[in-house]
Each structure stands twice: as C-alpha cells, then as structure tokens.
Structure 1
Amino acid sequence: MSYTLENSIGYQTNLVATMLKTSFTKLLQPRFGIAAEQFATLKIIDEDQEVTQTQMAEMLGKDKTTVGRSIESLIKKDLLKREDCSLDKRANRISLTPKAKEILEQAVPLAHKVNEAIKAKLSEEELESYFRVLDIILQESKNFEEIIGEK
C-alpha cells in the first residue's frame, strides 16, 4: 500500500484530535472564555495541585514554554494564581482561583456529556480496542529514530 494522507496514522489521528479540540473550544469559548487546551490545563491542576509545569507539558503533549504561556494567559484571565513555594523559594505553586473552580463546575459536566455521547456510538470492545491502539501509537511515536534505523 502506498503512503497517502488517507492511510497515514499521524495525519488521521491529528485530524481527529484537531476536530475534537476545535469543536470543544466552540462550546467552551462563548460560555467561559477559554479554549479546550486551557480547560485541560485547569483540569490537570484541579486533579493534582502539586503538578509541575514539566509534568503538565508531558500530559498535554506540549513543550514547557508553550505551557508557560498558557499558564500566563490563565493568570491574566484570573483563572490561575501563582504563589511562592514555602519549601523552595525558586519554585512557584500554581493554583486555581475561585473563578476557575466555578468554570470547572460547569464545564466538566459538559465535557463528560460530549465524551459519553461519542462513547455511546462505540461498543465496549471497540472502545477498549481504540484505547489499546492509541497507547501503541503513543509509545511508538516516541521511537521514530529507532523505527527508521537512525538510533
């Protein structure tokens, strides 16, 4: 089989991810003034108040600089606050503001509803297979040099 965008794992995965992100942003933006990636950043911090910027970057598939800019944007929107860490004066602790907590209270059920609606179109076996395949693709995407014999 020849290589086309139609049969490209990377292209098709990116297409789906972009469509999900764009569609979810269209729901979030008018209601809460945030994009899908900003929602993800808030949700990550909500779930783990000790998460570092490096860990967030890894979880979001972004570099630390991009995550740093996103954090700054969320601080300007009064959704995050930065505080000095009492144990390490060089470190900062990022936490949610009350405004961010309010947004998450309303946005999380929306995200859940969208997620469940998509999952309802799939059987349990398809869903398990989907996540298994995504995990394989994720792991293999970390080894491109090895795959093409340059490592």
Structure 2
Amino acid sequence: MDTNLIYDDQFYSFLTGRVSTAIERRLQRNFKENGITITAEQWSILYFLWDSEGLSQQDLAKLTFRDKPSVSRLISNLEKQKILIRLNCTGDKRTNQIFLTALGHRIKDKCMFQAEKTISEAMKGVDKESMQQAQLLLEIVFNNLK
C-alpha cells in the first residue's frame, strides 16, 4: 500500500459524494420541470421495483444502500401518492412485499427518460474510455470497503 499518496480537498469531496449529490439535484430538477412529483430518493426505490416487483423492504434497503427506516419512509410516501402498495408476505407476516400500482407502472417511461437525460447531461464530453476507467476505479474503491 502506498502511504505516500496525498489527496487534495477536491478528491475527498469527490469520493464523499459531491458528484452523486450534483446528479441527484439535477435529476430532481428535471423531474420537477417535467411534472414528475417524486423525489430522486423515491426514484431509486421505483427503479428496482420496475425491474422486479414484490421485493421486500429489506431487499430495497440493500439494493439502495439505505437503512430500513429510510426505506420505510420512502415507501410510505410513495403509498400516499398511490404509486405503490405494501402487502404482507404470505409466508412471513413480519415481511412486506412492495408492488407498483397502475400509476407506478404508468410513470416509468417518463421517469426513465428524465433519468437518462440527467445522465447524458452529467456525462457530456466524457469519452467511453474515460467512463470505463472511472467505473473500474470506483468498483475498486467500493470493493475495498465491502
């Protein structure tokens, strides 16, 4: 391990979420400008449900790297908007499975379009090789901390 590495403030800021925060803010703005009433945090829950309905709150917590109380709050707010429903699992009454409502299915394309637009805005001017190098670096960092 190279203990002589010196990191500047920008590097620490980058690794602690500066970029992800900027992307989340832009996504939120893009949603709002296009009449989408969910938050970027809620979108992260919906993203996984659009891929696989019936996930448990525990599954969603793991997939989104959030704690269970945060996921429960997000789910409750999405229930209030009638975007998803929470049902008791038949095998274990302590476990809830999360399903999309018709509205939850209907908003998928509009939300995904805005998410793709946001990523395109964020990645403007970045070539494919640089993206692959950044992905490799971030995977290494992530795996070091597992």
| CA shift in 2, pair 1:6/1:119, >3 Å | closer
Query: Counterpart in 2 of 1:88?
Result: 92
Partners of 2:94 and 2:18 lie apart in 1 by 40
Partners of 2:18 and 2:96 lie apart in 1 by 36
Question: SS in structure 2 opposite 1:39?
Answer: helix
Question: SS in structure 1 opposite 2:107?
Answer: helix
Query: Counterpart in 1 of 2:64?
Result: 60
Aligned residue among 15, 32, 36 for 2:18: 15
Query: Counterpart in 2 of 1:141?
Result: 145
Partners of 2:23 and 2:122 within 8 A in 1: no
Q: Indicate the larger mover: 94-103 or 16-25.
A: 94-103
Partners of 2:87 and 2:11 lie apart in 1 by 48
Matched letter for residue 21 of structure 1 = E
Matched letter for residue 126 of structure 1 = S
- Identity, in percent, stands at 24
Matched letter for residue 115 of structure 2 = A
1:6-43 alpha-carbon deviations (Å, 9 max, x no partner): 232xx213111111001101111341111111111111
TM-superposed deviation, 1:46: 1.2
Aligned residue among 30, 34, 38 for 1:27: 30
Query: Counterpart in 1 of 2:109?
Result: 105
Q: Indicate the larger mover: 133-142 or 117-126.
A: 117-126
Partners of 1:102 and 1:49 lie apart in 2 by 14
Question: SS in structure 1 opposite 2:55?
Answer: coil
| CA shift in 2, pair 1:97/1:38, >3 Å | same
What is the aligned-residue RMSD (CA, Å)? 1.9
TM-score, scaled relative to structure 2: 0.84
TM-score, scaled relative to structure 1: 0.81
Q: Is 1:75 matched up with 2:75?
A: no
Partners of 2:57 and 2:97 within 8 A in 1: no
Query: Greater share of helix residues, 1 or 2?
Result: 1
| CA shift in 2, pair 1:99/1:50, >3 Å | closer
Matched letter for residue 65 of structure 2 = G
Q: Which gives a bigger RCO, structure 1 or 2 (Cα 8 Å, sep 6+)?
A: 2
Partners of 2:26 and 2:118 within 8 A in 1: no
Question: SS in structure 1 opposite 2:10?
Answer: helix
